[in-house]
Homo-oligomer: A and B are copies of this chain.
């Protein structure tokens, strides 16, 4: 019965605009295996949902991510 929601910024990946389909498949497989191995959860009833978030929509340190990183450089 697990439901796992993974929120990541829309960056990186092969084209710099977010995780690739293959990387998302790796996340889905990895999280499902982890829940099976640690808690014995059945993969058939394990949902994994990935949510890509635009950089302007993610804040840390009181700033949008890109401004936060610029400040840290």
Chain A residues with a Cβ under 8 A of chain B: 1-9, 12-13, 19, 21, 23-35, 38-41, 43-53, 56-65, 67
Interface class of chain A by DSSP? mixed
Residues B6 and A2 in contact, CB atoms below 8 Å apart: yes
Residues B4 and A7 in contact, CB atoms below 8 Å apart: yes
B contact residues around A3 at 8 Å (CB)? 3, 6-7, 47, 49
Contacts A25-B63, A63-B28 given; does A39 touch B8 at CB 8 Å = yes
Q: How far is the CA of A29 from the CA of B47 in the complex (A)?
A: 19
Q: How far is the CA of A6 from the CA of B58 in the complex (A)?
A: 10
Contacts A34-B34, A39-B19, A62-B28 given; does A9 touch B4 at CB 8 Å = no
